Amino acid sequence: MGFDPRRWSSEPRAREVTSNVETLLAENEALRREVRHLRLQLERLERSARRDPQPFRGQAWGWQGSQGEPEPARVNARQVENWGELLAGQPGWSVLRQKGLVELVDQLNRQSFHANLTLQQRLDRLLPGLGRDLFDAIGTPTTKKHWAVLAAFALYGVRTNEWLDEDPARVVAELRQRLARRQGGRRTRSDQRRTDRRADDQSSEQASSDHHHNVGAPRGADPRRVAAYAALELSWGASRDRIKQAHRRLVKQHHPDMGGSADAFRRVNDAYQLLIA
C-alpha cells in the first residue's frame, strides 16, 4: 500500500497548477481595480451627500430614483471644473496647447467606429445622455482645460470619469504623446516615403488579418461592423456570448493599467458597443 513513484507524473499537474495560478492572478488584478473604482465611487457619493443633505439616490452612470423624479446629470459643471484643475496640476500640462487639443479631439473622433458622428453624438450612442450632459456642463469650450477634458472623453469614452478621477497624470501623459505624434509629422520627403511604405505594409498586414477574422462576411456588409468583428478577433456573425468573451479577454490584454495601448483599448470598447447595441 506504499507510494509508488512510477505511477506518479507531476508534469500534467504542474501545467494545470501554473495555468490556475495565472488565471487567479489575472482575476485578482481585475478585482483589485474594481475595488479601487468602487471605493472612489463611494467617496464621491459621500462627498455629494455632505454637500447636499437630501438622500442621494443616483449612481455613477445610472439612475434608480422614484418614478417621475428627474435623472441627475452624468457629468456636471463642478466635475468638469475639478477635472480641469486636476489636469492642470500634472507634470507636462504646460506643454499642451489648446489648438493641438482641439485638433486632437477631431482626429480621435474621426478615427472611431462612429466617425460620421460628433463627439457628443458618439458618447450618447455609447451611453445615452453622456455626451449631452458633458456638453451641457462645459457649454461652449473656450479654455485649454475644457478641451483637455473633451480630449480625454474622446480618448477613453465611457470610462473617462475613472481615468480623470484616479490617474489624471496618466491622462496628461497620454495627451502629450498624442500631440507629439501629430507634431512629428514634419518630416523630409525621404522620411515621408519610407514611412508611407511602412504604413502600406502594415495596412496590407491588417487587411489580411481582417480578412482572416471576417471570413463569411456577406457582400455589402456594413464596413463598420466588419471592422468591429476584426477588432475583437472574431469571425462575422459571432454570437453575443463570444463577443462578450472576446471583449473581456481583449480589455484585459490592452488595458493601459497593464501597459497596453489606449488606442487598442478604445477600439476594442468601441467595437463591443457597436456589436452589442
167 and 84 inside one domain: yes
Q: How confident is the model at residue 181 (pLDDT cuts 50, 70, 90)?
A: confident
Which of 43 and 230 is assigned the larger pLDDT?
Answer: 230
175 and 251 inside one domain: no
Indicate whether 50 pLDDT > 80. Answer: no
Which of 249 and 42 is assigned the larger pLDDT?
Answer: 249
Closest CA to 276 of 254, 252, 251, 245: 245
146 contacts: CB under 8 Å, gap ≥ 6: 80, 84, 138
pLDDT at residue number 86: 95
Q: State how far the Cα of 270 lies from the Cα of 277, in Å rounded to an integer.
A: 11
195 and 235 inside one domain: yes
Q: How confident is the model at residue 31 (pLDDT cuts 50, 70, 90)?
A: confident
Q: State how far the Cα of 277 lies from the Cα of 275, in Å rounded to an integer.
A: 6
Please say which residue of 126, 160, 183 terminates a domain: 183
Long-range contacts of 172-177 (CB under 8 A, 24+ apart): 172/87, 172/90, 172/91, 172/92, 172/93, 172/96, 172/148, 173/90, 173/91, 173/92, 174/256, 174/262, 175/96, 175/101, 175/104, 175/148, 175/151, 176/92, 176/95, 176/96
Q: How confident is the model at residue 214 (pLDDT cuts 50, 70, 90)?
A: low
Contact (CB, 8 A) for 266 and 273: no
Q: State how far the Cα of 13 lies from the Cα of 20, in Å rounded to an integer.
A: 10
Indicate whether 226 pLDDT > 60. Answer: yes
Residue 167 lies in a domain: yes
Indicate whether 243 pLDDT > 80. Answer: yes
162 and 197 inside one domain: no
Residues forming a β-bridge with 63: 58
Q: What is the pLDDT of residues 64-77, one digit of tens each?
A: 455 555 678 889 99
Within 13 Å of residue 47, how many CA atoms lie on the same side as its CB? 8
Q: Which domain holds residue 249?
A: 189-276
Mean pLDDT in the chain? 75
Percent of the chain with pLDDT over 90: 25
Residue 23 lies in a domain: no
| CATH code for the domain in which residue 251 is found | 1.10.287.110
pLDDT at residue number 208: 45
Residue 88 lies in a domain: yes
- Amino acid identity for residue 59 in this structure: Q
Q: What is the pLDDT of residues 97-147, one digit of tens each?
A: 999 999 999 988 887 766 788 999 989 988 889 999 999 999 999 999 999
Percent of the chain with pLDDT over 70: 62
**In this predicted structure, which of 10-19, 23-32, 257-266 has the lowest mean pLDDT?**
10-19
| Integer CA distances (angstroms), 216 to 28, 207, 209, in order | 38, 15, 14
Please say which residue of 142, 166, 183 terminates a domain: 183
Residue 145 lies in a domain: yes
Closest CA to 105 of 72, 153, 61: 153
Domain count, the chain: 2
Q: How confident is the model at residue 58 (pLDDT cuts 50, 70, 90)?
A: very low
Within 13 Å of residue 210, how many CA atoms lie on the same side as its CB? 14
Which of 4 and 265 is assigned the larger pLDDT?
Answer: 265
Please say which residue of 135, 151, 183 terminates a domain: 183
Average pLDDT for residues 150-174, to the nearest whole number? Answer: 90
92 and 173 inside one domain: yes
205 and 162 inside one domain: no
